[in-house]
Structure 1
């Protein structure tokens, strides 16, 4: 059954935009047209409805989707979005982006995505739990969830709480399944989640930006000095992605000069503190009126157009369009959200000498750490549990030997720093950092090798298409 919103002439065609980006990249590959069409298409689209009883006694029918874009790798992987704006076109587009994203960062999943069309503010916690558990049951009935089939994760409107409900429902309906907790990621630590998952996407965005601005020749073309220190950042959205990317970028030495939210925007060229802004919003209900801002705007869109070096749209898709791209003053757009820049806007920005760090790479930190969580669930052991104390003992022996030979001695603090074995969070952050750095270099190598490629998005897609094509060829479907 088609979704009327997805087919509306006035609705944004997000999946069409993703396909347009795909077609731009496909011309730089040498794969068979049939194979390219297979890679581009959504393999399975499950649209369903289910009734729930509200606490008022009223019966309500809920619209929901789960899309599996590509089965070149198993399981498929992708978040579940709760929003009254969810529609079939959006879920298909996000599933496609997940396929390309996983390939870019060399995570062995096919792409998937889910969505439920609700406004979470309109429901009690009990009603949200009922909706989540019923959604999970519907996925189980159709074999659309499982540690080796399809593994959901959080997205806009969902988090650890919803993932724990999904895990518990799956466990209840699959008693005795050893790897059942691997059916979903983004779970709380108490339910075999993984340290560092909550801030993984934002941390990945920050690492992507730091790596991008480290290339002197690329920054010279933009009129910027190399290095992250002192770079002026505007962030749209103070959810998990926007908040954690801001915090990590500040640790790297960048300055958060602007923050945009649904109720307005703040700007201060001397810097803003996201923690103070969130505390102000908690006390007043709005970011507006924050005393640390030198200027504020009633429109979030106006906040995007203020002077900065790097703009991070970390909210929803279609935020930067042909209508506002000429007023964007950033030199770099780092896509923390999925699909925040339309194809026309992206082309205009690049033509004007800007650089876009594409969503399929930039926000891949979440799925990277979800992969680590999935591995943890399948191995049934926390990272670092086997070797942390061994590492500490080995390091201590080295320190003792060096002190004995040199006759010197370390302070207690120095000894603690050197001897310490890695925690799970440190190992996860290390794996995430290595993934983001290696992937950026892969993308940039494709970009530099072909002078006809004009954007990092195209080079990322070329890399993705090649990897997915090889996977299909290894199946024996294409020679």
Structure 2
């Protein structure tokens, strides 16, 4: 779909883009057209309005909750707090959640929510009132529950808002044993899980690392295999962008550029992500950071600087036909949802690039949300039952080996071998395994079907096939 300056068209392009990607990938499957239409369509779209008191008057808030597919229960998806949110966007994000969960083998259907506000314009009390009232509206229509629909954080929301949702749901469902499983992304103290906040960014970094580890693929696009030394530009210093940059740097990449809405900075020798983050926190802008060698007041110029990997981790439709030819990166890793238009993607591939699609790349959040949901249903933290048993078993083994060999280990060596896994270590291990296995599932589809020309189409084909099996198992289709 061609880009346009029409505001009305801009408000309705995103779901169309997702459907366009679906239709293109569907031609590589052999499923019934009716089944494909069922998979593609949004099952339930709930739009509602509610008033809140502001000062001496009232304000009416627009909100949505979309359940795209109930082929698996519950449905799952974040709640976006943004004055730019609209029904088309929420439908598109819900659809992406369906495909995302299928790609990483998480047994949820896709959903998404939106509240049309700018959180910065409201007091803490007003935000709490909005969040709790939104939750009540979902409860009244049976659009939330641990076995029905499980929200999570998204753009503009976080642990605080999820704790308000959890409390509201539990208050209105007294005695429900699994009430805390009605929402994920909660604080640890309110039955959240270690590693959830940074999960999406960590998943993006693992996806990038896994992609560049395949020598055959890197040779085709003119890069050496391995993440070490790869130059990376990240757009967005929010939760996803910050943690993507942080973990990529830990893996050995060099963060050469950072972009935010106020502008962009660049240094070919590398930027200190934490230092930039603290500078922005202190000054309100990444501009003026002493370690930057170049500054750009137009944030999109930052995307066009020399690098190996570009990570757009802000909002959708950032890379279009207008700027894609100026992108110098060989790989785009989509930390945000829908940052690359279909037309721009075609151009990028024709120029020898590779795009790791959002449906896979940013699935770390829902993966760890799945772990949190399991924790809430089991009512026990990961590692709590078996950690000390593992440590005692390892200690006995070390003592036996030392007795037989006569070789004494150092205290550091003993503690390293004996140590049992914490909840955070188990979560990170599960996330890493999920991202690695899922990437190679996508790559196998891409590699084994010459007609499939992008990783996005390969990921979508895999998702369609898995969802189709779910519908067939439900007895809906033969």
1:399 corresponding residue in structure 2: 398
Post-superposition Cα deviations, 1:255-304, rounded to whole Å, max 9, x if no partner, equal 00000001000100111111101111122121100000011100110000
Q: How far 1:10 moved relative to its partner?
A: 4.5
Residue ranges of structure 1 left out of the alignment (5+ in a row): 1-5
Post-superposition Cα deviations, 1:327-366, rounded to whole Å, max 9, x if no partner, equal 0000000000000001000111011110000000000000
The 2-side partners of 1:7 and 1:174 are apart by 42
Q: How far 1:57 moved relative to its partner?
A: 1.8
Post-superposition Cα deviations, 1:126-156, rounded to whole Å, max 9, x if no partner, equal 0000000000000000000000000000000
The 2-side partners of 1:57 and 1:268 are apart by 51
The 2-side partners of 1:296 and 1:92 are apart by 36
Post-superposition Cα deviations, 1:372-420, rounded to whole Å, max 9, x if no partner, equal 0000000000000010000000111111111111101111111111100
- Describe how 1:350-369 pairs up with structure 2 within 5 A: 350-369=349-368
2:135 corresponding residue in structure 1: 136
1:390 corresponding residue in structure 2: 389
The 1-side partners of 2:157 and 2:424 are apart by 22
Provide the alpha-carbon RMSD of the alignment. Answer: 0.9
2:45 corresponding residue in structure 1: 45
Q: How far 1:7 moved relative to its partner?
A: 9.1
Q: How far 1:18 moved relative to its partner?
A: 0.2
- Describe how 1:49-60 pairs up with structure 2 within 5 A: 49-54=49-54, 56-60=55-59
1:35 corresponding residue in structure 2: 35
1:283 corresponding residue in structure 2: 282
The 2-side partners of 1:12 and 1:219 are apart by 36
1:126 corresponding residue in structure 2: 125
1:198 corresponding residue in structure 2: 197
Q: Secondary structure at the match of 2:155?
A: coil
Report how many aligned residue pairs link the two structures.
473
1:440 corresponding residue in structure 2: 439
Q: How far 1:12 moved relative to its partner?
A: 4.8
The 2-side partners of 1:402 and 1:372 are apart by 36
The 2-side partners of 1:448 and 1:14 are apart by 28
Post-superposition Cα deviations, 1:415-459, rounded to whole Å, max 9, x if no partner, equal 111100000000000000000000001000000110111110000
Q: Secondary structure at the match of 2:232?
A: strand
Q: How far 1:11 moved relative to its partner?
A: 3.0
The 1-side partners of 2:10 and 2:178 are apart by 44
The 1-side partners of 2:47 and 2:410 are apart by 63
Q: How far 1:8 moved relative to its partner?
A: 2.0
Q: Secondary structure at the match of 2:37?
A: helix
The 2-side partners of 1:72 and 1:285 are apart by 44
- Describe how 1:29-428 pairs up with structure 2 within 5 A: 29-54=29-54, 56-428=55-427
Cα contact 2:11–2:88 (8 A) shared by 1: no
Q: Secondary structure at the match of 2:125?
A: helix
| Larger deviation, residues 345-354 vs 138-147 | 345-354
The 2-side partners of 1:156 and 1:78 are apart by 12
The 2-side partners of 1:449 and 1:41 are apart by 28
The 1-side partners of 2:254 and 2:10 are apart by 38
Q: Secondary structure at the match of 2:9?
A: coil
Q: How far 1:9 moved relative to its partner?
A: 3.3
The 1-side partners of 2:10 and 2:92 are apart by 17
For the pair 1:452 / 2:451, whether they are aligned, the reply is yes
Q: TM-score, normalised by structure 2?
A: 0.98
Post-superposition Cα deviations, 1:297-323, rounded to whole Å, max 9, x if no partner, equal 001100000000000000000010111
Q: Secondary structure at the match of 2:407?
A: coil
1:8 corresponding residue in structure 2: 8
Q: Secondary structure at the match of 1:8?
A: helix
2:3 corresponding residue in structure 1: none
Q: How far 1:245 moved relative to its partner?
A: 1.0
The 1-side partners of 2:241 and 2:12 are apart by 24
The 1-side partners of 2:78 and 2:286 are apart by 28
Q: Secondary structure at the match of 1:280?
A: helix
In structure 2, relative to structure 1, the CA distance for the partners of 1:121 and 1:384 (3 Å cut) is same
1:3 corresponding residue in structure 2: none
The 2-side partners of 1:10 and 1:344 are apart by 15
Q: Secondary structure at the match of 1:23?
A: helix
1:466 corresponding residue in structure 2: 465
The 2-side partners of 1:7 and 1:18 are apart by 19
